[in-house]
Amino acid sequence: MRAVIQRVSSAAVSVDKRLVGEIGKGILAYVGVEKGDDDADLKSISSKIASLRIFADGEGKMNLSVKDIGGSVLVISQFTLLGDCRKGKRPSFDRAEGPGEAKALYEKVVTALRAEGLAVKTGEFQAHMEVESVNDGPVTFILESRKGN
């Protein structure tokens, strides 16, 4: 499982010009499910999203998690995170999990983040979404469950 997370001042997602999710200060998390991902992968990613210390403390050091600051998380499914662009000019998505299993694991990530006590908003799985965000920093990290992140 791969996630790209951004520390944001605000973020919102719309589908067909309809706002479906919006947060203030927190994390915008794009999540892609890879073939073979399982509960261990989703636990790794969700735990890291909830506990990664990427927010400034009183001394301006990245020392607080989204939970520590009472922030929110906007989770967006994004299979293109598994795209392989090494060969040719068209990405290959062979590593991306099929929609059925991917949706189930994506929803488990959302459930796990809520179980951490976080306010979580989402986009719509398999929908064409428009995402707006104000990246605070900018601060962006790539998380991969299979590489020990």
Beta-carbon contacts of 121 under 8 Å, excluding residues fewer than 6 positions away, are 13, 21, 22, 23, 72, 73, 74, 75
Q: Are 23 and 121 in contact (CB under 8 A)?
A: yes
What positions carry a catalytic annotation?
A: 78-80
The dihedral over CA atoms of 34, 39, 45, 46, expressed in degrees to the nearest 10, equals 130
